[in-house]
Structure 1
Amino acid sequence: MSNEPQLLVDRDGALGVISLNRPEALNSLNRAMVGAMQGALDRFEADPAIAAVLVKGAGERGLCAGGDIRMVHKSGRAGDGQGLAFWREEYRMNVHIARYSKPYIAFMDGIVMGGGVGISAHGSHRIVTERLKLAMPETGIGFFPDVGASFLLPRSPGELGTYLGLTGEIIGAADAILAGLADVCVPVAQLPALQDALATLSPAADAELVGDVVAAFATDPGPAPLESHLPLIDRCFAGDTVEEIVEALNGETDVFAGRTVERLWQRSPTALKITLRMLRLGRQSQTLEECIDREFAGSAAILTLDDFYEGVRAAVIDKDRNPTWRPGRIEDVTAAEIIRFFKPHPDPPIGAAGR
């Protein structure tokens, strides 16, 4: 275990650089890292010598695999409030990133999942590499896509965001750009040179100038594998119930549809229904802030859901990849059970003043 700080903050010319430095944990975010990152963002935003902020991950495996879900699991069992406090601070930071007054550049290299999407996809300049493995895999642990995903995913083309949110499918660079979760692809070997070029910008450089520098390094990521499946995805994921979506997929003869149904069967039925409602409400919402407050209320309720603890156990703690969901069938999850995840929280992280 390294004695280095878990978050490194530096200056490179006119660039403020934030490096997640927990490579042994795939740079997963914990509460201390969120606090340190928020502090760095505040300082860089107020510093006239800083033109833009760059966020990247240490090591070769990825930017960030998500939040510290093991801690949240332990906190929820203990009832000590630490997990919910982590989510409150993380979600506030997600909104700050989306509203950041300076260019916010994310190097989305390798694994970018869950909370890793939250610290990248809300940025102004989202750069993926050929090694990208992006996903919102929360339904596989009895949870729902959070960190503002209920705002981002419904704004993907057609029903692509619904597909990604329900299935947790891992996608690469071209599909991430197709889904509107990233902007350009830069080869990983060129990231150091891109950082050097960004560091030479004037402190007065704006988002357009940053975009010009990034564009000079951008390459074609190749065809997006999901693009050919968009008509089927749009047909099948248009339903407003999970049952309708599964029925539509079962009515298709395409191998892709069959694989998708199998993937849905592996997810928590309760989490699937929560997720679909989150995404449909997010599509109607005007602001990220509204979605974040709704997600926070849902996250608080998730801490009372058995499937969450079982999902984290199977995926993170015991790692047997064999969760037992209760209920185990989609049709056995009632509307009354889902309603409680959408009751407004009495102390939302953003609230009306932040909208």
Structure 2
Amino acid sequence: MAGAAVAAAGPAQWVQANVTGNGLAVLTLDRPKALNAMNLDMDIIYKKYLDEWATEPTVKSVLIQSSSARAFCAGMDIKGVAAALQEDRASTLPYQVFAAEYSLICEIANYKKPYISLMDGITMGFGIGLSGHGRYRIVTERTVLAMPENGIGLFPDVGFAHIASRSPGGGAVGAYLALTGARISNPADALYVGLASHYVPSQDLPPLKEALLQLDLSGDAYQKVEELLGMFSKTPEDEPKLKGLLATIVSCFGRNLPVSGIIEALQAEEQSEDPAVAEWAKGALEGIKKAAPLSLAVTQRHFADVAAAASDTKNPLSQIEGVMRKEYSLGTKTSMRPDFLEGVRAVLIDKDQNPRWKPEDIKHVDHLELEEVLSPLEGHPPPF
């Protein structure tokens, strides 16, 4: 029996689907030991369900949840991709994974039925990709949001630049989160940044889900979902911390400064007489210090480009599809660099937290290498 149980554990069990009698399609991520990290097979199954439900008349709305309160989704299955590259540096798995993830993000962003994510617990990386582009993004007091990819030699992808470009300060707050990997662990900031649409205390999630299961979704499902969420959502007791720091964040991250300039601006703010500003600047510098220098340079350029394009509808980077095509190139290129395997080793495998980046300092980032990473990927056009 034990052998049968082990054999049964796999992608089909990690992504579970059920359509209820009222037309609510429920997709449950159930890989708790890996914090619901998504591998390629899970991506494919997830998209298969969304594709089916998009054209199924009896499905009126989609609910995404986790089986565990600890994590909604901690991101991509980083170890799996790194292991494939460690075995074969010519592995095509990165191309496959990024294609699957990014096409899924485009579908979520354009989904024609109410798409509700219960972002309870850890929601990072691709977890934000699965939720942050949807219409209804529910956080709780247990939600922890972050984009820590620079710390493993990649860059903050999953279309976060698109979300960031619409964040306060003309995208400055989003750029700050991307470059530092800072965590958001309070609902007020999640709402302020735009990563959340509603705050529902975790104790109210069971009755909310029960109400969704009982909701009459015939007619205008969007209106009915919004009315129900309005009944359960609360206003956070605290003010968003990032709102009080906005002027400083814009000064450091909103002027299209190179990474070296951002570091200098933060060092100056670290001397501020305002304790909140000084503490924030210190934390931001610590986050940047942990990141791969080339990843930081790529992030700064990419996020600045997307923010600049936000109001220009003729620029492909103003649309999520254009951003994802650009990130398909950036993602595959950064994953092929030695920093990625080194970052995974230091952070996730050996856990010595002492990666040896190439280059080791932002001052030594080669301009030509940076431009090569930013240039279009040749030979592998985005399949979406």
Give the TM-score, by structure 2 length: 0.88
Aligned to 2:248: 232
Aligned pair partner of 2:121 in 98, 110, 120:
110
Aligned to 1:16: 25
Secondary structure, counterpart of 2:241 in structure 1: coil
Question: How far, CA to CA, are the matches of 1:201 and 1:246 in structure 2?
Answer: 53
Is 1:256 the counterpart of 2:272 in the alignment? no
Aligned to 1:160: 173
Read off the aligned partner of 2:245 and give its amino acid letter: H
1:9·1:16 contact (CA, 8 Å) conserved in 2?
yes
Is 1:244 the counterpart of 2:261 in the alignment? yes
Is 1:46 the counterpart of 2:70 in the alignment? no
* Mapping for residues 112-151 of structure 1, pairs under 5 Å: 112-151=123-162
How far did residue 343 of structure 1 move? 1.9
Read off the aligned partner of 1:213 and give its amino acid letter: L
Aligned pair partner of 1:265 in 289, 297, 305:
289
How far did residue 303 of structure 1 move? 2.7
Identical-pair percentage: 36
Is 1:96 the counterpart of 2:107 in the alignment? yes
Question: How far, CA to CA, are the matches of 1:75 and 1:221 in structure 2?
Answer: 43
1:49·1:203 contact (CA, 8 Å) conserved in 2?
no
Question: How far, CA to CA, are the matches of 1:317 and 1:203 in structure 2?
Answer: 50
Question: How far, CA to CA, are the matches of 1:93 and 1:334 in structure 2?
Answer: 34
Secondary structure, counterpart of 1:144 in structure 2: coil
Aligned to 1:329: 361
Secondary structure, counterpart of 1:251 in structure 2: helix
Structure 1 segments of 4+ aligned residues over 6 angstroms from their partners = none
Question: How far, CA to CA, are the matches of 2:152 and 2:329 in structure 1?
Answer: 18
* Mapping for residues 200-219 of structure 1, pairs under 5 Å: 200-219=215-234
Deviations 1:193-228 (A, max 9, x none): 112222222243332221111110001223222221
* Mapping for residues 37-76 of structure 1, pairs under 5 Å: 37-76=46-85
How far did residue 258 of structure 1 move? 2.4
Read off the aligned partner of 2:100 and give its amino acid letter: E
Secondary structure, counterpart of 2:100 in structure 1: helix
1:51·1:201 contact (CA, 8 Å) conserved in 2?
no
- Can you give the 5+ residue segments of structure 2 that lack an aligned partner in the other structure? 273-277, 310-316
How far did residue 350 of structure 1 move? 5.3
2:144·2:183 contact (CA, 8 Å) conserved in 1?
yes
Deviations 1:113-138 (A, max 9, x none): 00000000000011001101000010
Secondary structure, counterpart of 1:325 in structure 2: coil
Question: How far, CA to CA, are the matches of 1:6 and 1:262 in structure 2?
Answer: 35
How far did residue 262 of structure 1 move? 2.3
Read off the aligned partner of 1:349 and give its amino acid letter: P
Secondary structure, counterpart of 2:355 in structure 1: coil
Read off the aligned partner of 1:183 and give its amino acid letter: S
Read off the aligned partner of 1:42 and give its amino acid letter: D
Q: Which stretch has the larger CA shift, 279-288 or 92-101?
A: 279-288
Aligned to 2:306: 282
How far did residue 248 of structure 1 move? 1.0
Question: How far, CA to CA, are the matches of 2:325 and 2:41 in structure 1?
Answer: 22
Q: Which stretch has the larger CA shift, 92-101 or 318-327?
A: 318-327
Number of matched pairs: 351
1:289·1:350 contact (CA, 8 Å) conserved in 2?
no
How far did residue 93 of structure 1 move? 0.2
1:72·1:84 contact (CA, 8 Å) conserved in 2?
no
How far did residue 40 of structure 1 move? 0.7
Read off the aligned partner of 1:177 and give its amino acid letter: L
Deviations 1:311-338 (A, max 9, x none): 1111111122221112111111122111
1:141·1:315 contact (CA, 8 Å) conserved in 2?
yes
Secondary structure, counterpart of 1:119 in structure 2: helix
Deviations 1:95-119 (A, max 9, x none): 0000001010000100000000000
Aligned to 2:314: none
- Can you give the 5+ residue segments of structure 1 that lack an aligned partner in the other structure? none
Q: Which stretch has the larger CA shift, 111-120 or 247-256?
A: 247-256
1:51·1:205 contact (CA, 8 Å) conserved in 2?
no
Q: Which stretch has the larger CA shift, 172-181 or 252-261?
A: 252-261
Question: How far, CA to CA, are the matches of 2:381 and 2:218 in structure 1?
Answer: 36
Aligned to 2:195: 181
Q: Which stretch has the larger CA shift, 85-94 or 263-272?
A: 263-272
Question: How far, CA to CA, are the matches of 1:28 and 1:279 in structure 2?
Answer: 25
Is 1:304 the counterpart of 2:336 in the alignment? yes
Deviations 1:75-104 (A, max 9, x none): 223122112201101110000000001010
Q: Which stretch has the larger CA shift, 243-252 or 221-230?
A: 221-230
1:185·1:219 contact (CA, 8 Å) conserved in 2?
yes
How far did residue 74 of structure 1 move? 1.6
1:84·1:300 contact (CA, 8 Å) conserved in 2?
yes
